[in-house]
Amino acid sequence: MNTDATGTTEGDPLQCELRFMKGVGPHRAAELERAGLRTADDLLHRFPIRFEDRSRLRRSTDLRPGEAAAVCGEVVSVGLRRTRRRGFTLFEMLLRDDAGMFRVVWMNQPFLQDVFSPGQRVALYGKVEWRDPGGLRLTNPQYELTGREGDDDDGMHTGRIVPVYERIGSLTTKLLRRLVYDVLQRLSPALEDPLPPALRRRHALPGRREALSASHFPAPETSLELLNRFRSPAQTRLIFEELFLFQLGLGLRRRAHAEGRKSTLIRVDDTIRRSALAVLPFRLTPGQKSALRTIVDDMRRPRPMNRLLQGDVGCGKTIVALLAALVVMENGLQVAFMAPTELLAEQHSLSIGRLLAASRFRVTCLTGSAGAKARRETVTAIETGAADLVVGTHALVQREIRFRALGLAIIDEQHRFGVLQRATLRDKGRQPDVLVMTATPIPRTLALTSYGDLDVSVIRDLPPGRRPVKTKLEPESHRDAVYEFVRRRLREGRQAYVVYPLVEESAKTDLKAATTMAETLAVLFRDSTVGLLHGRMKPEERDAVMRCFAAGTVHLLVATTVVEVGVDVPNATVMVVEHAERFGLAQLHQLRGRVGRGPHPSYCRLLYQRPLSEMARARLKAVSGTTDGFDIAEQDLQLRGPGEMLGTRQSGVPTLRVADLIRDHDLMETARREAFAALRDASVATSVLVRLDETWTERFGLASVG
């Protein structure tokens, strides 16, 4: 980088380092750096948390009780008063403006003694009250020291719409405002603009320089309401820019993928259709049919498929994937079916094996726990092509696994996998088709980001005869009644789950809780067989228990969350969740999805312990309020935020500086459309693509995404 003595960087003024700015010593520079702010660019993209309209300052004589008002004045006197109520303090201030004097009061903020002293100028914003006795006063206002008269020569602190920043270390909102102001002053009037002019005109977006400036110091006529919703034209433009570049990156990746050519074309004829129908144990729902049609259409194209199949728990994604697999195998290619847990892999391999028993295709299972000999045999079968369909865990993506001719990679419950594994599996074949399945419905916003390079199909319906699971919240004190309820269902010949939370830090004690509980329940449910299932068991043991449960010889299954994903026992109709307050929303929904998979009415009982945190209450309310997975996913996103929801960068949630995936989902849609259009338009594309350098690929977390 080419830096001269004043710290300006030739070429890009936004890269000027903050430590060279006036008023920023080494101490403050370090504080800024710790907050992730090193350059002018960093600072300008850290936006005010809100704006205050100090352009219409109220004179003290014009204050009306009941309204919120901005006033400015000089401190005349201050004092702390204790009141008759113990431990209660009033900090009082007398303020003078051009029109006269007025009183300001703060409750229980004695430290203000150290903030204010006579002679200071302050800006206040707060509620006007009338008290008898005492008269008109401002109560608990927000405040800011604006400096002595004459200090504020640029008028940046009062008399305008002022930005309010979140404090960084010792840098108050006022200092930050000054710094932003100075940085903006030094920017040249013309900044390079990555948005094509036609696009800007179409969406009435201001230029980059103007947008940066007005996002901090808006013009007087700007709507305060828009500003505080991050929807002023300037803010909109910067948000849009970020989303546009992000989608452009996704689009590029998608294009690179689409340019690939499969080594073997997939064909579909009547023989293949008949062979697929032969394994089908039931009629597909309309949703399954249409998903399958899209998938098969994809697979017949010369470019590899890259599709996400979304559908709520129990909607029947597996059979759709299996039919797609059949088509591929009929074409002489192999299929890899990757599941997130051994249990699930084994279960898939069993059920798929059963369905394909009469066919000529061979199903094998490869998990981490297979013995050395069995493993060697499986690996050889994969290499020689003797195995047509391989079900497995992440063991499938290990290096020594080589497929003879992998045509389709199916990834079940994608949210459990790192995205890297998705890429590795894809690399196992020469451009195989990829089908990703998830039962954690992904809100549209996230689907456009972390899965933005995938085509998406959604199954919205459930197989016929399903009745929604009846969900009830029950406090611990109702435990006996809940057990009695379970007992009645067991007597009717149904089966039940009792699930315990397993928190990692205290895995041992929790495990003990589950083990002890299984013992207690074995006594309480003397007429039934009680089984125990947890993650610390050997896979064979786990498998044995699960098999007994599936076969109906174990009636009540006490388990940790290992049953969360995919397990399918239609005769199980009751799900009791202990300590439901400790589970995440998506998790609760997944657990509930273990029941309601057969013809019998099903129930979910969520036992919770008080006191409930606000979050826990919201989660429980959400899960008992709806059985719609998409609804749940939206609420989960609201409650947890996108990063938490998909789990860190690895899942491809971009790190955005300006945009907010929830707040700005509408802009994301537009940005995506525009970005994809720009990619089709060669002239636009080349001018913009220059910007897609490594820095921002990394920033958006695209580099690691497969």
Q: Which parts of 331-463 fold into alpha helices (H)?
A: 342-355, 372-384, 419-427, 444-447
Q: Which helix (H) or strand (E) holds 138?
A: strand 135-145
Q: Which stretch binds ligand ADP (CB under 6 A): 108-116, 278-286, 395-403, 445-453?
A: 278-286
Partner in contact with 315, chosen from ligand ADP, Mg ion, none, beta carbon below 5 to 8 Å by kind: ligand ADP
Partner in contact with 314, chosen from Mg ion, ligand ADP, none, beta carbon below 5 to 8 Å by kind: ligand ADP
Count interface residues toward ligand ADP (CB under 6 A). 18
- Smallest separation (angstroms) from ligand ADP to the CB of 292: 11
- Smallest separation (angstroms) from ligand ADP to the CB of 676: 30
Residue pair 456/307 in contact by the 8 Å Cβ criterion: yes
Q: Which residue is nearest to Mg ion (CB)?
A: 566
- Burial pattern 536-548, b for ≥16 Cβ within 10 A else e, equals eeebeebbebbee
Q: Which of 316, 429, 596, 652 binds ligand ADP (CB under 6 A)?
A: 316
- Smallest separation (angstroms) from ligand ADP to the CB of 322: 9
The partner residues of 436 in beta bridges, in order of sequence, read: 308, 411
In angstroms, the CA 445 to CA 637 distance is 10
629 makes contact with Mg ion (CB under 5 A): no
Quick one: 379 or 575, whose CB is closer to ligand ADP?
Answer: 575
Write the interaction track for ligand ADP spanning residues 588-627; mark x where CB under 6 A is met and - where it is not.
Answer: ---------x------------------------------
Residue pair 408/328 in contact by the 8 Å Cβ criterion: yes
317 makes contact with ligand ADP (CB under 6 A): yes
As given in the structure block, the two tokens for residue 123 are 């800006």
Q: Which residue is nearest to ligand ADP (CB)?
A: 316
DSSP output for 323-353: HHHHHHHHTT-EEEEE-SSHHHHHHHHHHHH
Q: Which stretch binds ligand ADP (CB under 6 A): 72-80, 142-150, 307-315, 504-512?
A: 307-315
As given in the structure block, the two tokens for residue 158 are 């009062």
- Smallest separation (angstroms) from Mg ion to the CB of 412: 6
566 makes contact with Mg ion (CB under 5 A): yes
Write the interaction track for Mg ion spanning residues 128-147; mark x where CB under 5 A is met and - where it is not.
Answer: --------------------
Q: Which of 538, 537, 531, 539 is nearest to 558 (CA)?
A: 531
Q: Which of 400, 340, 395, 331 is nearest to 364 (CA)?
A: 395
Q: Which of 537, 564, 543, 551 is nearest to 495 (CA)?
A: 551
Quick one: 320 or 382, whose CB is closer to Mg ion?
Answer: 320
571 makes contact with ligand ADP (CB under 6 A): no
Residue pair 369/425 in contact by the 8 Å Cβ criterion: no
Q: Are strands 89-96 and 101-107 parallel, antiparallel or unpaired?
A: antiparallel
Residue pair 288/319 in contact by the 8 Å Cβ criterion: yes
Residues 99-128 that bind ligand ADP (CB under 6 A): none
Helix (H, G, I), strand (E, B) or coil at 569: coil
- Smallest separation (angstroms) from ligand ADP to the CB of 142: 51
Q: Which stretch binds ligand ADP (CB under 6 A): 16-24, 313-321, 366-374, 494-502?
A: 313-321
593 makes contact with Mg ion (CB under 5 A): no
Residues 494-533 that bind Mg ion (CB under 5 A): none
Partner in contact with 568, chosen from Mg ion, ligand ADP, none, beta carbon below 5 to 8 Å by kind: ligand ADP
Quick one: 15 or 310, whose CB is closer to Mg ion?
Answer: 310
Strands (E), 578-640: 603-608
Q: Which amino acid is at 446?
A: L
For tokens 């459930």, name the residue.
Answer: 462
The partner residues of 80 in beta bridges, in order of sequence, read: 91
The contact set with ligand ADP (CB under 6 A) reads 282-285, 288, 311, 313-319, 439, 463, 568, 570, 597
The contact set with Mg ion (CB under 5 A) reads 566
